[in-house]
Structure 1
């Protein structure tokens, strides 16, 4: 299936695997891109050296193109972009809008750019700055998300910009791909659906928690890091939601202490990270501390398999998923379904 997205990225199928912290590493990205989709590494939880090793592993495992997600406000963003340029990585994606300087740095080095947006005005702004594509995530999506559903946000953005638009939030099968194309998108992006594959490194017990979730099994909370974050509803998350100011601060301090021990950060380093996170947002210090150690809570579930004490970002689509295929089986199934749907519509 040829679209503006496949022409841009050089992949056979218009299906993107999003960069999920501690999930989208070398194994998942290699499996996705080898199967004809477009895998994106999650580098926000990696050092520059860890990202270099990950890129080298992927290039050893496949000749297919792939991308890397970079946190635009990270201190090492420029170093990571330089790494992408040296290794001729096809695309840099951004969860936060990149600056004009970062976009220019990528363009000068031959790296495509695709920021994620949750509002039409954000899409218009980055399009004016010269990005190559935008990923539009509706409120159904997992992780940091906005209030507008994909079915309303997507056509609005498609009408506003002249670059390829990738639709995210609520997609898991061929019907969704055809629907996105009908809205004017050039492809779809999926996170939760790729997390729930046999190629995903997430522990089986954690995957089972996702598979057991219903359509109401997720919640959008600001208690994780101060901004709306869609996660699986668990007793741990419910306790965060119920916590008062004092108990929330105590819990944040306890989690921060655990994060400090696991990373070797000093208290001054942790507080500096918290202050950087707090910039531009009206967060309490409890939220600031929680934001600073959010990586530890994600790691507890995604890496260590401790779903009872970790945070699990999840799209609402988790309530519609009931199996764990390989990336290859998943992508082939989606494309067969999409072809059949298009043929039926043409008939």
Structure 2
């Protein structure tokens, strides 16, 4: 695929990871597979494989497929608390992956292992204190997601959280939550960020493997809601009749056990592994065991929509920015558009700066 012709924009992000443009495609479960990631990276952005919903073998295969499709840098998103996190890190190192992304703060020793091997480590954070912690541990950069973002999210909006983090750490800061175009990129840069990360906008591209009917639900339904009914913690999703039914229902242990059994069969996890996972999820949270089992079933709800195309039976993570999205461009078209818009805005601001003053 030929990269877009927009002018490059050099920032600390592009210098750190080697991508042409400061635009990151986030690691969305069951969405960010080899096709979407390779299309993003080949177009000049930084694609990130969503390995948290993949087995170790599936992750390895996805990494190799991206490498066959493009020689551009890309990343892989891992769960730092996974039982096989160390094995997955070893795969990234062996396969020459440029970036390791984490949804939760990776342990200090994992960061050190990656840095020693030359892998750029970029955790995602939702609070200033989390950014300070991982930066002190040696993280190379952070992705900061404000409350507008999809999936697990906090209450602080990007416009407040981003400058807090930029002022608190010396590492490059990538802004996420509420971005879909070049205007947003310039706004993020003005706050001190070195680029933007987008999830919903990349999900709604022609390179995304999500079914067309599900994409149409996103384009037609521009309302999101933050619910705790999916997995016990705040989760921003597209508002649908199914989500409304979850909000009205009472979470009961027998139903959660049945759903947990379905996920166990699909994932191949043993009950012992699921219990260990549940204990990790309960740590530091006020969750009942019914909520823990429902949380373990979250991948089933995501898979139902993103893989099986059942928007009526699944949960669709979505940022509030979905209300601004109206089409399904290719990744190359999207990145070209974002960068062209960004340069137009920057040129206009420069003309304002040069304008004669009275």
Which TM-score applies when normalising by structure 2? 0.93
> Structure 1: 5+ residue runs without aligned partners?
none
The offset of 1:257, in angstroms, is: 3.5
Measure, in 2, the Cα distance between the counterparts of 1:97 and 1:261: 29
Match for 1:293 among 289, 292, 297? 297
Match for 2:105 among 85, 88, 97? 97
Match for 2:56 among 48, 63, 66? 48
Answer yes or no: is 1:210 the counterpart of 2:214: no
Q: Could you report, residue by residue, the CA deviation over 1:187-236 in whole angstroms, capped at 9, with x for unpaired residues?
A: 0000000000000010111111111122xx11111111111110111122
Matched ranges for 1:50-129 at <5 A: 50-129=58-137
Answer yes or no: is 1:234 the counterpart of 2:214: no
Measure, in 2, the Cα distance between the counterparts of 1:263 and 1:105: 28
The offset of 1:25, in angstroms, is: 0.7
The offset of 1:76, in angstroms, is: 1.0
Counterpart residue number, 1:260: 264
User: 3-state SS of the aligned residue for 1:40?
Assistant: strand
Whether the aligned pair in 2 keeps the contact of 1:298 and 1:310 (CA below 8 Å) is yes
Counterpart residue number, 1:201: 209
Measure, in 1, the Cα distance between the counterparts of 2:276 and 2:13: 40
The offset of 1:280, in angstroms, is: 2.9
Answer yes or no: is 1:10 the counterpart of 2:18: yes
Measure, in 2, the Cα distance between the counterparts of 1:12 and 1:200: 21
Q: Could you report, residue by residue, the CA deviation over 1:307-331 in whole angstroms, capped at 9, with x for unpaired residues?
A: 1111111100111101000000000
User: 3-state SS of the aligned residue for 1:63?
Assistant: coil
The offset of 1:274, in angstroms, is: 2.9
Greater alpha carbon shift after TM alignment, 231-240 vs 162-171? 231-240
Counterparts in 2 of 1:160 and 1:273: CA distance versus 1, 3 Å: closer
Whether the aligned pair in 2 keeps the contact of 1:9 and 1:65 (CA below 8 Å) is yes
The offset of 1:270, in angstroms, is: 3.9
Whether the aligned pair in 2 keeps the contact of 1:88 and 1:110 (CA below 8 Å) is no
Counterpart residue number, 1:339: 343
Whether the aligned pair in 2 keeps the contact of 1:197 and 1:326 (CA below 8 Å) is yes
Measure, in 1, the Cα distance between the counterparts of 2:110 and 2:266: 31
Report how many residues are paired: 343
User: 3-state SS of the aligned residue for 2:52?
Assistant: coil
Counterpart residue number, 2:355: none
Whether the aligned pair in 2 keeps the contact of 1:219 and 1:231 (CA below 8 Å) is yes
Measure, in 1, the Cα distance between the counterparts of 2:78 and 2:272: 25
Greater alpha carbon shift after TM alignment, 255-264 vs 22-31? 255-264
Counterpart residue number, 2:138: 130
Measure, in 1, the Cα distance between the counterparts of 2:267 and 2:164: 43
Match for 2:178 among 170, 189, 201? 170
Q: Could you report, residue by residue, the CA deviation over 1:276-324 in whole angstroms, capped at 9, with x for unpaired residues?
A: 4323322112211111111111111110011111111110011110100
Counterpart residue number, 1:278: 282
Counterparts in 2 of 1:317 and 1:103: CA distance versus 1, 3 Å: same
> Structure 2: 5+ residue runs without aligned partners?
1-8, 352-358
Counterpart residue number, 2:327: 323
The offset of 1:259, in angstroms, is: 2.4
Aligned alpha-carbon RMSD (Å) = 1.3
Counterpart residue number, 1:313: 317
